[in-house]
């Protein structure tokens, strides 16, 4: 089946594009504030994980409790990786959006 009989449809398919605009929907600024608040909560959770994990790591090592020490190290690492992902999230999404926008 050929689309040669539908020139308007083919033309329309070539004209579709996207341009992200926070003012394009009602409440766009509210959604941005909500997202900023979620990032803040996520970073607070990462800091709490690093602090609690560091304390658990130290106390486990001092008490000779290998399991607590390893759990503390994992919590510290998880907090650091979580902060890295949260901090890079916008750049990662923008990178892939730009890469996807270049596909023709």
* pLDDT above 80: residue 67: yes
The per-residue pLDDT for 66 is 96
- Asked if residue 92 belongs to a domain, the reply is yes
Q: Is residue 10 part of a domain?
A: no
> What is the residue-wise DSSP string for the chain?
--STT-HHHHHHHHH------GGGSTTHHHHHHHHHHHHHHHHHHHHHHHHHHHHHHHHHHHHT-HHHHHHHHHHHHHHHHHHHHHHHHHHHHHHHHHHHHT--
Q: How many residues does the chain have?
A: 104
Q: pTM higher than 0.85 for the full model?
A: no
- For the packed helices 66-101 and 28-63, what is the interaxial angle rounded to 10 degrees? 150
pLDDT digits (tens, 9 = 90+) for 25-40: 888 889 999 999 999 9
Per-residue pLDDT, 18: 77
- Within-domain flag for 22: no
Range of the domain at 89: 43-104
Q: Note the pLDDT of residue 34.
A: 94
* Residue 66 covered by a domain: yes
Mean pLDDT for 85-99 is 95
- Establish if 1 belongs to a structural domain: no
């Amino acid at each position: 089946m050929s689309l040669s009989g539908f020139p308007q449809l083919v033309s329309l398919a070539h004209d579709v594009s996207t341009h992200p605009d926070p003012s394009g929907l009602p409440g766009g600024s509210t959604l941005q504030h909500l997202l900023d608040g979620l990032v803040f909560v996520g970073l607070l959770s990462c800091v709490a994980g690093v602090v609690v994990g560091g304390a658990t790591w130290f106390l486990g090592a001092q008490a000779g409790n290998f399991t607590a020490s390893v759990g503390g190290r994992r919590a510290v690492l998880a907090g650091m990786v979580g902060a890295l992902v949260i901090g890079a999230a916008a750049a990662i999404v923008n990178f892939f959006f730009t890469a996807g926008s270049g596909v023709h």
